[in-house]
Amino acid sequence: MAPVNIQNIEKRFGQVKVIHDISVDIADGEFVVLVGPSGCGKSTLLRMIAGLEEVSDGEIRIGAREVSNLPARDRDIAMVFQNYALYPHMTVAENLGFALKLKKANPSEISAKVEKAAAILGLETLLDRLPRQLSGGQRQRVAMGRALVRDPQVFLFDEPLSNLDAKLRVQMRAEIKSMHQRVGTTTIYVTHDQVEAMTMADKIVVLHGGLIEQIGAPLDLYDRPANLFVAGFIGSPA
Ligand code: ADP
Ligand code: MG
């Protein structure tokens, strides 16, 4: 785990500025949700933290390291996307261990880490199955497990639940929170769903048009919205 410090980050695509001077400090082990309407810059900000997109200006620190110019593989983060794909021809255990195998970890280390992640996510009895033999929720847990086995300093989630039905979405929120409580890894979670933000976050960052409207604990935002945008966005049904 590590704190993440985002300082005066800007992003331009050509002439168009989509992130304007954003600064956020995330404490070690904190679960922070970036929330805002479609197109407000959530994924772009997350992708800059991940190293999948270059920053136009500003600094990103993970722990003591300035990472803005490091390639993604050197940042010690793991990301879970909305459109995660499991390897269809590999078992759950092989899916979980694949990243470690690529890193040439030895087989006993791989199986120890796979077993630990499987225990945290309740996948112990499913390790020999293929992805097509799993339910949607189980597949989602495997996708999370693939991030977990890498034991990163920071987890990044980009709308991981938006392809699931409403009931499963509610269940998976609780499972992601429970995983966070067990491993304590600093987490940055992107969603456009204000209910998801309110129920999952230690701290919420409300984005709108590439700018931060407000940062605060869920109840602070609810009780003391900084402006009409926050009041309307947090108060409206998902
Ligand atoms: P969100 O994830 O909040 O829906 P995004 O970060 O995907 O928003 O997009 C923010 C803005 O940046 C949008 O206006 C989008 O069209 C623009 N954008 C994102 N990626 C690119 C890109 N590669 N080139 C040009 N514009 C982009
Ligand atoms: Mg997005």
Mean pLDDT score of the chain, rounded to an integer? Answer: 94
Which residues pair with residue 80 across a beta bridge?
157
Q: ipTM beyond 0.85?
A: yes
Measured from the alpha carbon of residue 211, the closest ligand is 1
Of 168 and 212, the structure prediction assigns the larger pLDDT to 212
Query: What's the pLDDT tens digit per position in 68-126?
Result: 999 999 999 999 887 778 999 999 999 999 999 998 999 999 999 999 999 999 999 99
pLDDT of 238 higher than 70: no
Looking at residue 134, its pLDDT comes to 95
Q: How far is the CA of 39 from the centre of ligand 1 (A)?
A: 6
Q: Which atom of ligand 1 is nearest to the CA of 42?
A: 3
Ligand 1 test: best mutation among 15, 22, 42, 44, most atoms within 8 Å of CB? 44
pTM of the model: 0.94
Which ligand is closest in space to the CA of residue 36?
1
For the CA of 14, the closest atom of ligand 1 is: 25
Q: In the prediction, which pLDDT does 12 show?
A: 98
pLDDT in tens, 113-122: 999 999 999 9
Output the ligand 1 site: residues, CB below 6 A: 13, 18, 36, 38-44
Q: What is the pLDDT of residue 84?
A: 75
Our mutation pick for probing the ligand 1 site, out of 13, 17, 211, counting the most ligand atoms within 8 A of Cβ, is 13
Q: Which residues of 199-231 are buried (b: 16+ CB within 10 A; e: fewer)?
A: ebbebbbbbbebebbbbbebeebbeebeeebbe
Ligand 1, residue 207: give the atom nearest the CA: 3
Question: What DSSP string runs through 88-148?
Answer: TTS-HHHHHHHHHHHTT--HHHHHHHHHHHHHHHT-GGGTT--GGGS-HHHHHHHHHHHHH
